[in-house]
Amino acid sequence: MSQQVNLVTLGVGDLKVSRQFYSQGLGWVPLLDLDGIVFYQVGNGLALGLFPLADLGTDTGHPATFGTPFTLAQNLSSPAAVDAAVQRARAAGATILKEPQRAAFGGYHGYFADPDGHRWEVCHNPGWSVADDGTVTLSAVEVSDDAS
């Protein structure tokens, strides 16, 4: 698994309030703003996601009360790389929260927790790219019936 973090997702109590805080209060410009989640670029190739806490628990495959109320994520080059990363984490003693599978965002992902319960998502998101200057591009991807 590559040594990088591409996305930090915070589980928030009220997405509308959090969106207003970050967008209007702090003046941050959303990278992608959907009904159920909003993303902001916060560093070179790094994004911050705000996701309702209950939905974050559902997405990880475990209630939000398991582990910490945020996730760290890596965007990998392919579904096969996701499978390999989850297998490596499993071999290292991770708790697998969600086996790799097709994701609602059009890519492929899985979740695991480290020994302290910190949740990691490893994914292949075809709508994610980082330019040479570190600018993140994130777009919604159509979900097809094709296998990942």
Question: What residues does each domain of the chain span?
Answer: 8-138
Statement: residue 99 has pLDDT above 50 = yes
Q: Measure the CA–CA gap between 12 and 65, rounded to whole angstroms.
A: 13
Cβ–Cβ under 8 Å, residues 95 and 60: no
* 6 — pLDDT class (breaks 50, 70, 90): very high
3-state helix, strand, coil in the chain (%, to 5): 20, 35, 40
pLDDT digits (tens, 9 = 90+) for 54-93: 888 888 887 755 566 788 999 999 999 999 999 999 999 8
Q: Which CATH number fits domain 8-138: 3.40.50.410, 3.10.180.10, 3.90.1150.200, 2.60.40.10?
A: 3.10.180.10
| 65 burial type by CB count under 10 A (0-12 exposed, 13-18 middle, 19+ buried) | exposed
